[in-house]
Homo-oligomer: A and B are copies of this chain.
Amino acid sequence: AERRSWFTAAEPKAQGRGCFLSNHTKPASFSQFLGNLLVVPMDGSPWVGFKAIAQEMGRRGHRVTVVMPETTIRMGPGKHYDTLTYPVPYDKTYIDSVMSKHKDIMKKSSQPFMEKIKKRFTQFQAISDFLHITAEKLLFNATRKLGLPTVNLLRGIPCHLDMKSAGCPSPPSYVPRFFTGYTDKMSFKERLINTLMALVEPLFCRLLYWRFDQITRDFLGENVGVAEVLSDSDIWLLRSDFTLDFPRPLMPNIVLVGGINCNVKHPLPPDLDSWVSGQHGFVVFTLGSMVSDLPEEITSVFLEAFRQIPQKVIWRYTGKVPDNVPENVKMMKWVPQNDLLAHPGARAFITHAGSHGVFEGLCHAVPMLMVPRNGDQPDNAARMASRGVGIVLNILDINTETLLKGLKEVINDSRYKENVKKLSDLHNDRLSDPLELSVYWTEFVMRHKGAKHLKSALHELYWFQYFSLDVIALLTTVVLVFVMLTAKCMKLCFRKLRRKRKQE
């Protein structure tokens, strides 16, 4: 969920077979409609949601084809769908090198400030290159433009590009901008900064997406950018929920499916189940698919803190397991995260605050200790902290004392558990499961060849028309002319009056 590009985030494409024209007026008969679904997923953690939808659509009898690069982070075949691969000029080693940039940055050292900035930039560049190459190879491998109705599944696109393309107003007075970590209740200073962010956004977006805009233009042969292509989308499946995010205006083609992976759970394997059982419960510790191990000095800080708590700790860690691992800590290359969090013994969740993890923690009401790194993670963490369901630590500044203090607080202070329980009740109380919603809207788009009636009419307006600037200009001119004429008139009258008086 960390990073997404316009294209890789904007994905499952649905095409109906045309049989939607058969005679049906009741939803029941819609179930007989079957069609073809093309899925172009985003790699990394977003794959979780794409896979769930692809499998469920296939299970219902649709023909589902998932397109993926030959080399991927975690995508792969599954039940009920076919895969189609396209060649990419990189291998697993390249992907690993891109991913390892995350670890590099966390290395504690006496690096000068500029060195750190440079590393950050290198990381950004590596990831951008990776996304650009993948997008180009995908597009220019296809033989023709598809022109199919589109359903997007996403957590959000930097620059609010998703909201802009869908036509949702985002008043800066209560809609916090990406990367600010603000809530919907801002002080004057925060609103000032938020408004400034909103003002520079258009320029920032141009810079951030110029290469994708270039790819779009080259591919389509038209003078359109990413935003224009995205605004053609029919349905936006947004992995959001108002227990995590703040209430904001949405257009009707935005469907909230936050927590899509929550109900996909299984009992723990017996050996793991017996290991975690114990009167003090256990802590789940994962940092997402992008960061699977840590620099040695940070690892030892965590181990030292874990040694001093009575809880057991399950830690997803793919690196070399150190020698001095305490007895209550189990380091595993892969953990059934959702199943662990669903276990009644889960007392705390140490997470990088990626959206999937946060939703799983919310779903199962586990207090969180959050160590966000990049992308939407700092915002997610700030939002959860503002609801009193966890605390945020900076993994770069962490030491055994601060970590231990934070960990003990979320485990022992019952307010965190109470708050997360209340929020979890709200999050889980819904009429339709997010996966069911996703599948329904995907099928809707297939049945009706789109969902034009839900699209904002602002796409047919120029930006100055949208903001009514032309109307305002006319009204201002009219008022000004009226005021000027009145002034002139009065002047003339006064002059005449004066002259008259003089004559008298």
Inter-chain contact B444/A440, CB cutoff 8 Å: no
Centre residue among A20, A30, A169, A437 by max chain B CB count within 10 A: A169
Contact among B24, B171, B243, B253 with A425 in the assembled complex (CB-CB below 8 Å): B24
Is the CB of A431 closer than 8 A to any CB of chain B? yes
* Known A173-B465, A247-B253; contact A436-B431, beta-carbon cutoff 8 A: yes
A189 to chain B, nearest CB (A): 10
Contact among B171, B188, B243, B428 with A169 in the assembled complex (CB-CB below 8 Å): B171
- Chain B residues near A171 (CB-CB < 8 A): 169, 458, 466-468
Is the CB of A216 closer than 8 A to any CB of chain B? no
Copies of this chain present in the complex amount to: 2
Q: Which of A414-443 contact B (CB under 8 A)?
A: 421, 423-426, 428-432, 436-437, 440
* Known A169-B169, A247-B253, A460-B185; contact A471-B191, beta-carbon cutoff 8 A: yes
Binds B, one of A76-84, A218-226, A269-277, A449-457: A449-457
Inter-chain contact B455/A247, CB cutoff 8 Å: yes
Interface residues on A, range: 35 or more
Inter-chain contact B242/A185, CB cutoff 8 Å: no
Is the CB of A448 closer than 8 A to any CB of chain B? yes
Contact among B27, B423, B425, B429 with A428 in the assembled complex (CB-CB below 8 Å): B27
Q: Which of A24-40 contact B (CB under 8 A)?
A: 24-27, 30
Is the CB of A493 closer than 8 A to any CB of chain B? no
* Known A242-B454, A249-B250; contact A474-B27, beta-carbon cutoff 8 A: no
Centre residue among A24, A250, A425, A430 by max chain B CB count within 10 A: A425
Inter-chain contact A429/B457, CB cutoff 8 Å: no
A387 to chain B, nearest CB (A): 9
Inter-chain contact B440/A426, CB cutoff 8 Å: no
What is the bound-complex CA distance between A430 and B26, given in angstroms? Answer: 9
> 17 A-B contacts, Cβ less than 8 Å apart?
A25-B364, A25-B365, A27-B429, A169-B249, A171-B466, A173-B471, A184-B457, A195-B471, A242-B453, A247-B455, A248-B251, A249-B249, A249-B250, A249-B456, A425-B448, A426-B453, A429-B448
Please give the residue numbers on chain A whose beta carbons come within 8 Å of chain B beta carbons, in ascending order. 20, 24-27, 30, 167-169, 171-174, 184-185, 188, 191-192, 195-196, 242-243, 246-253, 256, 364-365, 421, 423-426, 428-432, 436-437, 440, 444, 447-448, 453-458, 460-461, 465-468, 470-472, 474-475
Closest 6 CB pairs of A and B: A184-B457, A249-B249, A174-B457, A169-B169, A195-B471, A431-B440
